[in-house]
Amino acid sequence: MRGKPSRCGILLFGYPLGVSDVVTHTARRLAGLGYEIDLFVDEVSFAESPFHSDNPSICIKVVSLNRKSEGILLDSRGVPCRGGFQSAVRKWPSLDAFLQQNSSFPRFPLYLSKVRDLAGAGNHHLLIGIEPFGLIAARFMQLFCDAPLLYYNMELFQRRNCRSEDMTMLKDLEIEASRECTFTVIQDEERAKIFVRENGIEWDRLQFLPVSTSGPAVTGRSDYFRRLFDLPEEKRIIVYAGHITGWAMCREIVEAAQNWPENHVLVMNTWKENASCESYFQEMVRAAGPNCFFNTRPIRRELFTEALSSADVALMFYRPIDENFTETGSSSNKLAHYLQAGLPVVASDFPSIKRILDRYGCGITVSHPVDAAHAIGVILHEHESFREAARMAFQDHFDFDRAFSPVQEKIEKLLTCTDGVRSLRV
């Protein structure tokens, strides 16, 4: 690259940065190409799931949401009275209307205001919005500069789930902003069909990128969980690693484990800081048997895949709440990590998951956690074959370094076209 490096702004609000590998790997990959990266994330999300980088080209801007400590005044709507922010908001009438109505997301107006201050006057050559709030913030920034806009749609946001006026208006804003994007990154064709139907986006403005992770597939085995819980060699370790919550059927998993063979143990591992303080987690612990072990200290990301490799089989279940959950075959962070660790998977029998597990022979789908015991037995009987298939599935479908190349090519073309200093719109 010649001259001053292009600067990319990546915006998140209410979304866990530290465990969002597609987002962090995007930042790392673009920084590795010589671009300057600004990651804007609200302080609440960052505290829940932090991310750190020693790359000087990645600047993590943690947005404070404490107005009192900074003497920030709010009007009767909860919108900051500062620095021309309110007149800026009026440039986007739908956003202005949302902020007048909004009571469900009281910290978002302050995030918008602070991001505008932190971003500066038209200093970015590319803006990437993560999820609806990040997209809306990025579109708001775009009103004042010439930067192209991209959308990383990680979770399907469907109108059928908008059960309040605030949510309906938020969906309307997401649609408006997504139509201003040069392209949207989404995981696969099935999820794309839903997104196109909901948002009215042309198919050729989509780019597929599975939720994936970077680095080689693990071929060996660590003893991480065995050492952590002092488990003897004869114990078979079955792991669940992810968000401890009702939609992931975690309580049903620990209840089902009580009927497993004596030499099977269950490890429940969470990424979330202070998850053990939540009522659902405590209910789950009370429902667990003596063969269930809980790791409540998040594992450092650079050790995570190695830690997982100490298990024998991994679990992945979802309630069929809507298409965001049932069409999760290419959008599950835990599935990418399981397969990278060489772990065969027992998972919900949704077609989107079944297609992948059956294509590679890397796991078995069942209707409910109570049915997992038989599937685990089948996998352990042919364990090495399933493990090799898991690694193959990762390399072919969930390897970020391979899957990101088409997205990278498009971004590089955009940045080549928009290289140079952007000027503030007045």
Torsion 63-66-71-73 (CA) sign: positive
Reading the block at residue 338, the tokens are: 């399981």
- Phi, psi for residue 9 in degrees, rounded to 5: -105, 125
H or E element in which residue 228 lies:
helix 224-228
Please, is 53 exposed, middle or buried when counting C-beta atoms within 10 Å of its C-beta (0-12, 13-18, 19+)? middle
Q: Do both 258 and 388 map to the same domain?
A: yes
Supply the pLDDT for residue 272: 84
Per-residue pLDDT band for 85 (boundaries 50, 70, 90) equals confident
Q: Do both 173 and 267 map to the same domain?
A: no
Count CB neighbours of 66 within 10 A: 10
Q: Do both 205 and 335 map to the same domain?
A: no
Q: Which of 142, 117, 118, 116 is nearest to 128 (CA)?
A: 142
Share of the chain above pLDDT 70, in %: 92
CB contact at 8 A, 286 and 258: no
Residue 216 lies in a domain: no
H or E element in which residue 366 lies:
strand 363-366
Supply the pLDDT for residue 426: 29
Per-residue pLDDT band for 415 (boundaries 50, 70, 90) equals confident
Q: Do both 203 and 234 map to the same domain?
A: no
Residue 219 lies in a domain: no
* Nearest-angstrom CA–CA distance, 369 and 268: 14
Please, is 253 exposed, middle or buried when counting C-beta atoms within 10 Å of its C-beta (0-12, 13-18, 19+)? buried
| CATH code at position 195 | 3.40.50.2000
Q: Do both 151 and 277 map to the same domain?
A: no
Please compute the mean of the pLDDT values over residues 72-99 and round it to a whole number: 78
Q: Which domain holds residue 172?
A: 7-209+404-417
Q: Do both 187 and 229 map to the same domain?
A: no
Q: Do both 249 and 319 map to the same domain?
A: yes
Q: Do both 88 and 189 map to the same domain?
A: yes
Beta bridge partners of 345: 314, 363
Examine the pLDDT at 2 and tell me if it is beyond 50.
no
Supply the pLDDT for residue 1: 42
* Domains identified in the chain, total number: 2
Residue 130 to residues 120, 135, 248: CA-CA distances in angstroms? Answer: 20, 6, 22
DSSP sequence for 254-288: HHHHTTS-TTEEEEEE--STTGGGSHHHHHHHHH-
H or E element in which residue 253 lies:
helix 250-257
Query: Which alpha helices (H) appear in 259-404, and where do they start and end?
Result: 279-287, 301-308, 323-326, 333-340, 351-360, 372-381, 383-393, 400-403
Residue 217 lies in a domain: no
Which amino acid does the sequence have at 218? V
Residue 44 to residues 102, 116, 135, 211: CA-CA distances in angstroms? Answer: 19, 18, 18, 23
CB contact at 8 A, 364 and 379: yes
Residues 6+ apart with CB under 8 A from 375: 346, 364, 366
Residues 6+ apart with CB under 8 A from 191: 153, 156, 323, 327, 330, 331
CB contact at 8 A, 175 and 198: yes
* Nearest-angstrom CA–CA distance, 316 and 250: 9
Q: Do both 42 and 182 map to the same domain?
A: yes
Q: Do both 175 and 280 map to the same domain?
A: no
Q: Do both 329 and 235 map to the same domain?
A: yes
Supply the pLDDT for residue 88: 84
Examine the pLDDT at 20 and tell me if it is beyond 80.
yes
Residue 390 lies in a domain: yes
CB contact at 8 A, 292 and 254: yes
Q: Do both 267 and 393 map to the same domain?
A: yes
**pTM of structure:** 0.93
Residue 364 lies in a domain: yes
Supply the pLDDT for residue 424: 35
